Each structure stands twice: as structure tokens, then as C-alpha cells.
Chains A and B, each alone.
Chain A
Amino acid sequence: MGTFPRKQFVAAIGASALLAACNAPKNDQAQISSAEPAGVGNAPPAGGNADAIIKARGLNPGDVDAALRTFVPPGKHDDYVMFASGGHSGQVVVFGLPSMRLLKVIPVFTPDSYVGWGYDFESKATLHDGDFKDATITHGDTHHPALSETDGDYDGRFLFINDKVNARVAVVDLARFETKQIVKNPLMINTHGLAVTPNTEYVIETAQYAAPLGWGYAPLNAANFREKYRGLATYWKFDKNKGVLDPQKSFSIELPPFFQDLTDAGKLDSDGWSFTNSFNSELAYPDNWDGGLPPEASMSQNAYDWMHVINWKAAEAFVRSGRASTFNGMALISIAQAAQNGILYLLSEAKSPHGVDVTPDGKFLAVSGKLDPYVQIYSIAKIKTAAARSDLKKGPYGIRVLPLTETRIAQIPIGLGPLHTQFDDQGFGYTSLFLDSAVAKWKIGDESGKGWEMVDKTSLQYNTGHLAAPHGDTVKPRGKYIVGLNKWSIDRFTPVGPLFPRNLQLVDVTSPKMGVIFDAPVGNAEPHYAQIIDASLLKPMSVFPVGFTPHSNGIDPNAPKAGKEGVRIDGDTVYVSMTQARSHFTPDVVHAKAGQKIIWRLTNTESTKNAMHGFAIAGYNVSLTIEPGKSEHFEFIADKPGVFPYYCTDFCSALHLEMMGYLLVAER
């Protein structure tokens, strides 16, 4: 390069900016010119050579078609936003569609040193709210994201996500795309399904592996398993104004130890009902070490499993009447109470089911049994009619059983391993086929059982779990795409070692014949389920008002203010009130003596979009990203004497490297 002209260098470092309020000087070295006006998404030279590119890259017409369907030009936005569970990373992963570009990772149950989740005082407190007894759990298995709904459609305000392993539910506030609340289920030890009712009255959390309620102990044997181990459905009351789950107004329904699984809430005609499947009608439990079959076999002996049909409005009325008991602070309806008061019914379903999905009109249920090659269709009107009968036979645990023959109206043969169903806006359902590694498209028929038929099927790669479609489980699906959440990718991506990326596949469903148009590797844990929302419904903040603390959702009265920074020592506590702005901390030196407690508050006083700063300090395990306007707070004991640089970890400006300071901890 030879000599690098100084004035060009100054222009080139301008990641932050130089100055403003002025015009260019005309005649001297202060004239600094950028080489080119930087464009937003400078397009390649127009036209003419597309054929040459197609040929050179060895693309076929299908590739080109897929590229055109998914290409979002630089600088343009995606039409849809997908919230995918991050599996046992404990996070939520956010993608744009149709580009399938990764937009964000939202830490929920797992600390994250990028955004500082679990490092500052307030987010630590949020994580603590999910404590099990006295233990703070710092991992999670996020399973079922559920967007808040108004009138049965996503409203873009909140996202709920559950932690399968620890039966916790989190609320993500979509004004900030940040976790706002974590609650630990006081009765369940783990969970699987999560769904919201059509106006987000309740967030329904359903159990997975049965255990004594209230995190209790009972030796594992057949009698105890039958009598003391229990499943559960919890209906978390959501306070829409405060944006938090209210445990005081929530309730649970005790269920048999059938190993409950997914849940869907009724809507429109079926509002007030919820449907929860399960996969252990055998009441089997792990005993192969004692000579029994392994659970995979012992829990798959019966041809049918049990769907739980729950009238949650009846349950809510029952709790309000004061007849429910209270256990660990939560209202609990016993199995007997639920069975005798028109709250709980059982209905046979195909074995080893996963998806139990209500059609957009609220009239039908599509149940996918992984070991049954059909999608089983039930009429919810017929379910309700049957539930009203007084002569229903009692099944296990005295729960009345709805007759399968009166309620199931169709079976659509679609292939092996049906798992989960989503819907489009053209009257079709899409069911994933785990064993076939495929998606089947079928037509929604009528109440008489006519017209239910498969119309298309296409391969996915590989081992497809859930499907997600834009608004695909609401009253108003948007169609266009299906995303296959594939567990395995095998040969689809450039090898990156034995831990393979998962494969999120975008499928175009606008043509009669479905087709895969994009493979998106996700270098994160298995995304179990995802929901996709019209991007225009999301209205997130872009900056915070200065001094905002997300954790109390308002201005922190203790937030440091520009011009009023300082360090105050009171006894053995050092109070740091610090601000940060491009490209300095104020103050830039903090003195402490070994053993003193440091309570450190830090406000990013910027008010410009994207002007975030980081903060990390050597030796004391603090790492944060602080968005413009945000105020954070962290505490530690300065027990190690030494000189500890702290600095901005987010490349904020041309003088980012100079944005630093020292914590000096003197010996006593």
C-alpha cells in the first residue's frame, strides 16, 4: 500500500464519526474526503450476466427459483420473524424469513456473556426466580415457544417459552426482545407442552415425566407409580397489563401419570377447551434394570394412548368457587374433582402421539401418533356433544372416556412417523413425518368426514420434528412457507466436526407441489418448535429512554446520570455511579481496598440507535452489553488485590480501544 494518506486514514476509521454541524473547509488539509459515497446495499452491475453466473456455479433452474424466492436484497427486511426454541442451549433463536438469516439469540434460562444475561444484578434476580429449592439452575431445555395472542392470532407483544427439564416458564417481552420473567412450577418437576389461550388469558404448561407433585419423593414401584406419581396441567394466568404471569391467579389440574406431552388450546368454536396428549397409557415406568422392558417398549405396548380433553373454563370457575385445594401456593384441582365436575375427559388417540393441533376454524383436531401412519381427525363439536352425555363410561382414575368412534371423523394416511401439524390460509394442513423425513400436505375436509385427503408430500433432510408456518397455529394462518425443524443434517452442510448443525429447512407452499428452497444450519441446540409472525406486527423499541432498567421496565431512580457520576465509599462498600458514551467511561478510575463490596451502576447515556457499549472487567467475572439508554447494576466483592482494566467490549467507535478505565484494588 505504501504511504497511506493520512486524511484517507481518518476517513477510513470513521466507524463512529468525526464531526458534524459544519461544512467542509475549502482549502487545507482538513478536507477529508471519503473515497466513495457508501451505499446501502450497493447492487452488483445490472443485468446481462445472470446466465454466466448460473453456468459458472453449476446451478439448475430449481436452484435459481429457490434463490429468487428466498433472496432478500442487502438492506431490505424480511417479511416474517421466526422464534425458534434453542433446545438445551436454554435460549430462543430468532430468524428472518424468507432469508432464514439469524437475527438474534435471546438468552432465557442460560447466562450469556454477550448480552450479560445472568451477570448483572437484575437478570441474576430473574434467573433466581426460577430457582429449584435453593439452587439456581443455569441451564434449560427450551421447547415450545408460544406467542401471545389476541382474538386467536399473534399480537406480537410477548413470547412464552418453557424449560422442559425444570418445568419453568419464561416471558420474553417483545418490546425489548429480552426475558422479563421466569417462574418455576411449584408442583411439576418437568414439562413438555406450552400453549396460550386465544386471548392469552392463560399459558398452559403440561407435564412430561410423572413424579410426585410438589417435587416430592416416592419409591419407584408399580403401586407408587399408579397412586403417587402424577402428571399435571398448569394454567398460568397472564396479566397483560403488567406483562407477567401471576402465580396467585394460576391453577393446576392433577392428571394421571400418563406422561403428558403437547397441548393446544381450542379457539373460536372450541374456545374454553384445551387438548393434551400423552404417551404412557400403559402406566409403565423405567424398570429394565429389574428385568422389565425399557421404557421405549413398555410405554408402547397399547395400540392407543390417552388424550386429555379439558374444559378450562369449567376448571377456572371451579377454582373461583373455592373448591380447589392449594398445594405449594398453587390452586390444585384433583383428578377426582376434575373427573366429577365436567373438567377432564379422556379420549383415545393413536399411540406415541406428539402433535395435537386445532384447525384454524377451531372445529377439528389433528392428532399425530408417531407410531401410526395416519393423521387422526377429531370433531370438536362431537367431542363437546359426547362430553355432555351422562352415560359416559369411566376409564382409568375414574375419568370419563369420550367414545372414539363418535368423535374421530377421519384418518388420513400420510406416511411414517407423523409428528406435528401446522396450517396455511388455503385450507390445508401440513404434518411432519419424522420417520419418512418428509412433510405431508393434506386437505381439510368437513364434519361428515369427507374431503380429508393427502394432496402432496415432499422429502426433508432429515428426521423432521416440528413444523412451523407463518401464524400456522392461529385462527389466521398466513401460508406461503413451512419450516421443517430437522434434527439431523448429515450431508447438507460443510463439515464442522462430529457435532453437526441442525437443519432448518424452508419449504415453499405457494405452488401445488411443495419444494425445499433453503437449508439454514443452526449452530445451536435442537430447535424443538418455532412460531413465525408477520414482521409488521412486531414493534420493538430501538433505544431506551436514558436511565431505563428493563428489569423493572422503567427509569431506575438510581441510574447514574451524565454530569453526576462519582465514586462514594461508605464503610466497606464502594458505590460506583458511572456513565459511558462514545468513547469514554466517567469516571475512568475506581479505587477500592481488598475485601470491599463494590456496587457498580452503569448507564449508557447514548440516545442514538445501535450505539451500544459493552463492559467487561478482568478478574471479577462481569460482562455486559448495554444498549443506548440502558442502566445496569452489578455487585461483587473486590477480594483480589491488583489492577483490573475494564473496557468497552462492543466496538463502539473509532476510539473504542481507548474506551477503558482501571479498577485499582489496594492491599489492606
Chain B
Amino acid sequence: MKRDSGARWFAAAGMLLAVSLLLPWWEITMHAPQYPEGLHVTTWFFTVTGDVHEVDGLNHYIGFMPLAKVAMLERQAAFVVGPLFTILLLLAVPLRTRWSALLALPAATLPAVFFVDLAVWLQYAGHHLDPHAALSSSVAPWTPNIFGSGGVGQFHTDSAFGIGFYLASLASIAAIMAIANRVKNMDAA
């Protein structure tokens, strides 16, 4: 019987990750009386879109940093990381060595890294409000929730991970399966 090299798992992980890069990873919607349609900000792997201008305009009152300044390094790195991790997965598909399992490792960790990075940034931004902002004395530092609903001021907020994040998580699972299969079934040489 032919040994399973995990090629299908590598391919599946690669395709899932590639698609995830084109879909929203994290979304927040803010509701307030004067915004009957809500304000929406969507975080993609490469960029942030939606009512960024308005949200920044509101945030300046409490000294919350402009969204463009959040995770600047990560956003630049994303243009390399996203395609690179996908390519590594796809490169591994035809390989048969045990060590080639390592090519899936970056993709396997990506959603967790994203999660941790987002959480750290939310904590950092929420605790580094500009002390000179107009309403800085009215709002104490806090850590915005990474998911679920909440509220601050007249705003009710709902945040959630997007389909892109979930596909990347599936890609992560596929990558782990790929690693497991390859390590288990392939020779070290």
C-alpha cells in the first residue's frame, strides 16, 4: 500500500489560506443614535477598510490612535507573509521528505499569531490614549474586546472574526494534518 505523504492536506491548506487572504479576517460594527446604519470597520489580511475616516475622526476625541498606525509593521509584512506561507504549502505538495513537513509550520501558526497580535494591539491602543485629547479625562484606558458585543459612550459595538480568519484556521488544521501525515509516513532522508 502506498504511504500517504499528506500531499492532499498540503494542497488543501494552501488553497484555504490563499482564499482566506481575499476575505475579511476581523470585523467591528459600532452603533450609536446618530449612526442609524452603524459604522463598520473590516480588517483584511492586507488592509483595513470601511468607515475608517469617520472612526478615526471619532477616536481623536479620546486620543485613540489612528487605525492606520495600528500594526503598521505587521501590515507591511503581510504582503510577504501571506503569499509566502501559501507558496511554502504548495511547494511541499510534491515533496516526500520528512523535513518538508516544516514548510507547513508557518501556516499552521498563522491564525494564532494573528489572534495574539490583534489582542496585543487592542490592549496597547486602548492603554495608550493621547493624554491631550479632548475627552481623554473622561475615558480611562481599557482593552477593547476582540469578539462579542460591548458598549462605550453612546456606542454599542459588535466585533467578530470574519470568514477569512475561519478559513485560515481550517488551513491551519489542514497544515497540522499535513505535518502529521508527512512526519509519520515519510522517511527522514
Name A residues whose Cβ lies closer than 8 Å to a Cβ of B.
Answer: 6-7, 10-11, 14-26, 28-34, 37-38, 40, 581-583, 606-608, 654-655, 658
Q: Which residue of B lies closest to A610 (CB)?
A: B34
Partner of A18, one of B122, B148, B152: B152
Once bound together, how far apart are the Cα atoms of A37 and B154, in whole Å?
8
B97 proximal to A (CB < 8 A): no
Residues of B within 8 A of A (CB): 28, 30, 32-36, 39, 41, 51, 53-55, 57-59, 61-62, 64, 67, 122, 125-126, 134-135, 138-145, 148-157, 159
Give the distance to chain A from B134, nearest Cβ to Cβ, in Å.
Answer: 5
Q: Are B154 and A34 in contact (CB under 8 A)?
A: yes
Alpha-carbon gap, A33 to B3, bound state (A): 62
Chain A residue at smallest Cβ distance from B140: A30
Residues of B close to A20: CB separation below 8 A: 28, 30, 39, 41, 54-55, 58-59, 64, 155, 157
> Contacts A30-B152, A607-B53 given: A22-B157 contact, CB under 8 Å?
yes
A24 to B141, CA, bound (A): 10
11 pairs from A and B in contact (CB 8 Å cutoff): A11-B154, A17-B34, A19-B61, A20-B54, A20-B157, A22-B145, A25-B143, A31-B152, A32-B154, A608-B51, A655-B134
Q: Are B153 and A23 in contact (CB under 8 A)?
A: no
Q: Which of A19, A26, A34 contacts B139 (CB 8 A)?
A: A19
C-alpha spacing A37/B28, complex, angstroms: 19
Quick one: which of A10, A23, A32 has the most chain B CB within 10 A? A23
- Please report the C-alpha to C-alpha distance between residue A14 and residue B41 in the assembled complex, in whole angstroms: 21
**Which of B28, B32, B135 has a CB less than 8 Å from the CB of A21?**
B28
A18 CA / B58 CA spacing, docked (Å): 6
Chain A to chain B: the 7 pairs with minimum beta-carbon distance, closest first: A23-B150, A25-B142, A18-B153, A23-B145, A22-B144, A38-B33, A30-B140
Residue in A31, A583, A608 whose CB lies within 8 Å of B134:
A583
Are B142's CB and A30's CB within 8 A? yes
Return chain B residues, CB-CB under 8 Å to A15: 34
The answer to whether B153 and A32 touch across the interface, beta carbons within 8 angstroms, is yes
CB distance from A661 to the nearest CB of B (A): 16
Which residue of B32, B64, B141, B157 contacts A30 across the interface (Cβ within 8 Å)? Answer: B141
A21/B67 in contact, CB under 8 A: yes
Do B151 and A24 have beta carbons less than 8 Å apart? yes
The minimal Cβ–Cβ distance linking B27 to chain A, given in whole angstroms, is: 11
- Known A-B contacts A25-B143, A30-B141, A32-B139; A19 and B153 likewise in contact (beta carbons under 8 Å): yes
B58 and A16 form a contact (CB under 8 A): yes
Q: Which of A33, A581, A608 has the most CB of B within 10 A?
A: A608
The interface residues of chain A, by DSSP majority, are classed as loop
Q: 7 additional contacts, CB 8 Å, given A19-B152, A22-B150?
A: A18-B138, A21-B157, A22-B145, A30-B140, A30-B141, A606-B54, A608-B57
The number of A-B residue pairs with CB atoms under 8 Å apart is: 134
Option from A6, A22, A37, A583 in Cβ contact (under 8 Å) with B152: A22
Nearest-Cβ distance from residue B56 to partner chain A, whole angstroms: 9
Contact among B36, B148, B155 with A17 in the assembled complex (CB-CB below 8 Å) = B155
Q: CA A517 – CA B140 in complex, angstroms?
A: 55
Q: Which residue of B lies closest to A34 (CB)?
A: B154
How far, in Å, is B70 (CB) from chain A's closest CB?
9
Quick check: B61 and A18 within 8 Å, CB to CB? Answer: yes
The answer to whether A608 and B64 touch (CB under 8 A), given A22-B144, A32-B153, is no
Q: Is B152 a contact partner of A23 (Cβ separation < 8 A)?
A: yes
Q: Are A608 and B61 in contact (CB under 8 A)?
A: no
**Residue of B35, B67, B134 most packed against chain A (CB within 10 A):** B134
A30–chain B nearest beta-carbon distance, Å: 4
Q: Given A29-B140, A38-B33, A607-B54, decide whether A23 and B154 contact each other with a Cβ distance below 8 A.
A: no
Chain A residue nearest in CB terms to B55: A20
Q: Which residues of A contact B54 (CB under 8 A)?
A: 20, 606-608
Taking a contact as CB atoms under 8 Å apart, the answer to whether B140 and A23 are in contact is no
Nearest-neighbor residue (CB-CB) of A658 within chain B: B134
Residues of B within 8 A of A11 (CB): 153-154
Contact of A23 among B34, B51, B62, B157 (CB under 8 A): B157
A14, A21, A654, A658 interface centre (most CB from chain B within 10 Å): A21
> B142 touching A18 by the CB < 8 A rule?
no
Whether A18 and B139, one on each chain, are in contact in the complex, defined by CB atoms closer than 8 angstroms, is yes
Across the interface, do A23 and B149 meet the contact criterion of CB distance under 8 Å?
yes
A37 to B31, CA, bound (A): 10
- Complex CA–CA separation, A383 to B26 (angstroms): 72
B52 to chain A, nearest CB (A): 9
CB neighbours of B67 from chain A (8 A): 21
Within the complex, the shortest CB–CB distance from A304 to chain B, in Å, comes to: 59
A138 to chain B, nearest CB (A): 36
For the complex, give the distance between the alpha carbons of A139 and B59 in Å. Answer: 45
Give the docked Cα–Cα distance between A38 and B64 (Å).
Answer: 25
- Please give me the residue from chain A that is nearest to B159 by CB atom: A23
A37 to chain B, nearest CB (A): 8
Report whether B143 and A18 are in contact in the complex, using a CB–CB cutoff of 8 Å.
no
In the complex with contacts A23-B149, A23-B159, A18-B140 CB distance below 8 A: no
A17:B142 contact, CB within 8 angstroms: no
Task: Among B51, B62, B148, B149, point to the contact of A19 (Cβ < 8 A).
Answer: B62
A22 — nearest CB in chain B belongs to which residue?
B144
Contact B144 A21 (CB under 8 A): yes
Contacting pair B64 A22 (CB below 8 A): yes
CB < 8 Å neighbour of A40 from B28, B36, B53, B142: B36
A25 near B140 with CB under 8 A, answer yes
CB distance from B73 to the nearest CB of A (A): 19
> In the complex the two chains form, what is the Cα distance from A193 to B103 in whole Å?
81
Contacts of A7 in B (CB 8 A): 138
In Å, the complex CA distance between A26 and B152 comes to 10
Minimum Cβ distance to chain A for residue B124 (Å): 12
Which residue from A10, A14, A658 sits with its C-beta under 8 Å from B32? A14
Nearest residue, chain B, Cβ from A605: B53
Which chain A positions have C-beta within 8 A of B139? 10, 18-19, 30, 32
Q: Which residue of B lies closest to A21 (CB)?
A: B55
Nearest chain B CB to A603 CB, angstrom units: 14
